[in-house]
Amino acid sequence: MTTFLMIQAIGAGATMSESDAPVAAMLHGMIGQTIIPILVLALIVVALFAHAGLKWALWLAAAVAVQIAIGILAFDAPWVGLLHAANAFTVLALAEVGAYAVAHAPAYVPHAKASMRPAT
């Protein structure tokens, strides 16, 4: 049973043998729809001030928007949950590349402030 079918079954009143499953599903949705978009917006702001990584931060914002849309659509078509899982790796990769670009901005941006130093 996919996670999306399990969440639908719980909503319909079914009980699960594992009592933590509904809590985990609820936390997954809350973090994915609130905390992750807030972190993406923070990365965009930091990228604007660092003058680097903005392209990656915007791609990440698009990938997170797609991730949320896929997650919502998967309740109607649970097979879409496979795309939700696959897109999670895209979100992770874009977040890493964007954070790296921002952290190493002075090394790659000639007009970056001399006081900024890349993370080691």
Give dist(CA 4, CA 94) in Å, integer.
25
The answer to the question of residue 114 being in a domain is: no
The answer to the question of residue 65 being in a domain is: yes
The answer to the question of residue 101 being in a domain is: yes
Residue 15: per-residue pLDDT: 65
The predicted-structure confidence for 83-101, as pLDDT tens digits, reads as follows: 998 999 999 999 888 778 7
Please classify residue 71 by burial: count the beta carbons closer than 10 Å to its beta carbon, then call 0-12 exposed, 13-18 middle and 19+ buried.
buried
Give dist(CA 3, CA 9) in Å, integer.
10
The answer to the question of residue 118 being in a domain is: no
**Count of domains for the chain:** 1
The answer to the question of residue 1 being in a domain is: no
The answer to the question of residue 12 being in a domain is: no
**pTM greater than the 0.85 cutoff:** no
Domain residues for 85?
31-108
The answer to the question of residue 4 being in a domain is: no
Q: 3-state class of 118 per DSSP? A: coil
